[in-house]
């Protein structure tokens, strides 16, 4: 019941066999950070900044306005990390009208997220400067969506350096060592993970898009929704690979897609070696409840069998102890 669940927020997030787990919150608007703190999140794992840009009646927020919004989240989180994901428009998310920028791609394979930002360097630099300025007041971090190519990564990192230079010239305060992370949400990125491990301070798996692109299922198309399957063996294979490679390289790795907030999948993700989860605050204590009852060592024993299982019966057998 709810009272019991509420009590859990004071408990350490640790498995039965002593593995410490970190639970972060996904937020869409700055004020959501209040609820994140309320349920005991240890930071914001995903701030979907595009929600500041999607108001149909407003022009795009300028640097000052964005800075104030990012700063608000940083302040509300009292020194805990805040991953500000740079604008992820296109596909299902449209930009506010009143701008002549509504020509972002409408296809999930089109001009969206970082692809769009790199075609609008002034808008991107403005956002980067706003995030950097917020980093003077707490642990604001930059997180980049939808990267796949080395060239895109290099261009992105070059623009981050440029934004720092611009602020330096203007005498504005920022953290020069701000952490920069990448979302792993395109299968190609997962398959060349060393590229990302080498260039970024942290990684976060966007399972919503990783599933969409791996299975070629448009997230917004109801006609194929029944084929959208987080447990497809190809997805589990990719997750296992990403998590274990990042762990081996000592690069922080989280999951911030919907899978992380589904208590039915908590044991499975723990078994795959995940220790950092980011989810909507309403799910956090439910996931925590699963963690407190889990024995990672025991769960992990089922993984070799699971990763070999491509037949549904074999997979169901391997998953028997891994799903709640």
Applying CB under 6 A, which residues contact ligand PEP? 46, 48, 88, 185, 206-209, 256-257
In the complex with ligand PEP, the residue whose CB is nearer, 96 or 261, is 261
In the complex, the smallest distance separating the C-beta of residue 122 from ligand PEP, rounded to whole angstroms, is: 23
Which one, of 175, 160, 82, 167, lies nearest residue 118 by Cα? 160
In the complex with Mg ion, the residue whose CB is nearer, 106 or 166, is 106
The binding site for phosphoenolpyruvate consists of: 48, 85, 208-209, 219
Burial of residue 120 (number of CB atoms within 10 Å: 0-12, 13-18, 19+): middle
Q: Give catalytic residues, as residue numbers.
A: 256
In the complex with ligand PEP, the residue whose CB is nearer, 70 or 174, is 70
List the structure tokens of 252.
């922080």
User: Contacting Mg ion (CB under 5 A), which of 206, 230, 233, 273?
Assistant: 206
Is 291 in contact with 281 (CB distance < 8 Å)? no
Identify what 48 binds: ligand PEP, Mg ion, none; CB under 5 to 8 Å per kind: ligand PEP
- 45 sits near Mg ion (criterion: CB under 5 A): no
Which one, of 209, 21, 11, 228, lies nearest residue 113 by Cα? 209
Distance CA 27, CA 311 (A): 37
Identify what 257 binds: Mg ion, ligand PEP, none; CB under 5 to 8 Å per kind: ligand PEP
In the complex with ligand PEP, the residue whose CB is nearer, 88 or 152, is 88
* Per-residue mark of binding to Mg ion, 170-189 (x: CB under 5 A): ---------------x----
Distance CA 289, CA 307 (A): 26
SS3 25: strand
Distance CA 264, CA 287 (A): 8
Q: Which residues sit at the interface with Mg ion, rule CB under 5 A? A: 185, 206, 209
């Amino acid at each position: 019941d709810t009272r019991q669940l509420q009590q859990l927020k004071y408990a350490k997030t640790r498995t039965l066999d002593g593995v410490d787990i970190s639970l972060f919150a996904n937020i869409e608007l700055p004020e959501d950070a209040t609820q994140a703190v309320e349920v005991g999140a240890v930071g914001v794992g995903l701030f979907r900044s595009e929600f500041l840009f999607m108001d149909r009646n407003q022009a795009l927020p300028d640097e000052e306005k964005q800075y104030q919004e990012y700063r608000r989240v940083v302040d509300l989180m009292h020194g805990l990390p805040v991953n500000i994901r740079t604008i992820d428009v296109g596909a299902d998310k449209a930009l506010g009208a009143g701008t002549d920028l509504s020509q972002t791609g409408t296809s999930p394979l089109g001009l969206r997220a970082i692809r769009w930002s790199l075609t609008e360097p002034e808008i991107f630099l403005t956002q980067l400067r706003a995030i950097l300025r917020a980093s003077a007041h707490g642990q604001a971090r930059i997180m980049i969506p939808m990267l796949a190519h080395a060239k895109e990564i290099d261009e992105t990192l070059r623009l981050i350096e440029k934004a720092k230079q611009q602020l330096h010239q203007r005498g504005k305060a920022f953290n020069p060592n701000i952490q920069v992370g990448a979302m792993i949400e395109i299968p190609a990125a997962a398959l060349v993970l060393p590229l990302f491990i080498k260039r970024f301070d942290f990684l976060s798996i966007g399972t919503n898009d990783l599933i969409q692109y791996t299975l070629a299922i448009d997230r917004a198309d109801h006609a194929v929704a029944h084929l959208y399957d987080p447990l497809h063996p190809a997805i589990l294979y990719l997750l296992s690979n990403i998590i274990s490679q990042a762990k081996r390289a000592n690069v922080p790795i989280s999951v911030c897609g919907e899978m992380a907030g589904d208590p039915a999948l908590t044991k499975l993700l723990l078994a795959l070696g995940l220790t950092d989860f980011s989810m909507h605050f309403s799910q956090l204590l439910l996931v925590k409840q699963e963690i407190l009852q889990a024995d990672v060592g025991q769960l992990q024993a089922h993984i070799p069998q699971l990763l070999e299982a491509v037949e549904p019966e074999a997979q169901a057998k391997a998953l028997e102890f891994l799903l709640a």
